[in-house]
Every structure is written in structure tokens, then in C-alpha cells.
Amino acid sequence: MLLKPDAVQRGLVGEIVRRHDFLVPESLIRGILQGLLEDVKQQYKGKLPPQFDSEKFYQENRAYAVYQAKWALIREEIIQAENISAGDQDLLELAERESAKIGIDKERLITYYKSSDQIKDRLVSDKLIAFLLEKSKIKEVERQEIAE
């Protein structure tokens, strides 16, 4: 069975986070939890349901927030150490790939991409994952069923 690219990426990131044990600033964890809570609010038209228990929500999602915070910090360190960035050539290549797909003129896309931190961040993330995959030795193993 071949692994899907997103499963490989999740596994790689998970292993990197697992191998780097450090304390994460509480403010970063709270920020992530607050963002998750805002996502819940958006699902309910800007308000939390009347019986919603925010403390329970924070407790249940704390491990996930710690994981996300660790990955964010590790990610930034690797990007800096390896000088990974998105330049004009990257934006041009992306615009060339996407202009025909979405039916927008390449020059308009380039102008938009140059002004979009979100697009640049996506390109940097893609380059980071490509770098990590290139440097990794990934071994696919058969999944073992757990006997009851």
C-alpha cells in the first residue's frame, strides 16, 4: 500500500515534533487555543452555544495546541537555519501554474501574490516540506493489526 503524500507529511512533522521535547510558552498555547475557540464560534454564527464549556474545551484541546506550538517554533527555526524563502521566481512559477487553472491573467496573479503574505507562507511551507522529505529516510512498514 502506498502512502498518500499528506500522510507522509503528517508522519514526518509528527516525528520531528516527537524528537524535540521542550517547554512551549504558555502564551503561545493560549493563543492557539483561543484561535480554536474562535473557529468554534464561527460555526455558530459568532457565539458559543449556551451549554458550551470553555474550560473543558481548553483541556481537551491542550495537547493539540502544544503540538501545534512546538511545530510552529521548530518550523521557524528550520526555515531560518536553512534560509528557506519564497522569491519572485517562486511567485512567477506559481502564477504560471495557476493562471490557466483559475482563468486569471498571470500578471494579475503575480501582483496579488507579491502582496500576499499568506501565499508567500504557503510557498515557504511547501519548500520546507520538500527540504525535510529530501533530507529524510522514510521507510514504509506494514501496518500491524492489534489483537484484542
pLDDT tops 50 at residue 103: yes
Q: Does residue 142 fall inside a structural domain? A: no
Q: Give yes or no for a contact between 84 and 78, defined as CB atoms under 8 angstroms apart.
A: yes
Instruction: Provide the residue range defining the domain that includes 116.
Output: 85-137
Residue 146 confidence (pLDDT): 67
Q: Please state, in angstroms and rounded to a whole number, the distance separating the CA atoms of residues 22 and 94.
A: 36
How many structural domains comprise the chain?
2
Q: What is the pLDDT of residue 147?
A: 64
Please give the average per-residue pLDDT across 113-129, as a whole number: 93
The residue from 41, 60, 81 where one domain ends is 81
Mean pLDDT, residues 124-131: 94
Let me know whether 52 and 67 are in one domain: yes
Report, as an integer, the average pLDDT of 87-111.
91
Amino acid at 93: E
Residue 64 lies in a domain: yes
Residue 52's φ and ψ, nearest 5 degrees, are -70, 130
For residue 111, the Cα-to-chain-centroid distance in whole angstroms is 25
Res. 4 pLDDT band, cuts 50 70 90:
low
Nearest-angstrom CA–CA distance, 10 and 15: 9
To the nearest whole number, what is the mean pLDDT of the chain? 90
Check pLDDT > 90 for residue 137.
no
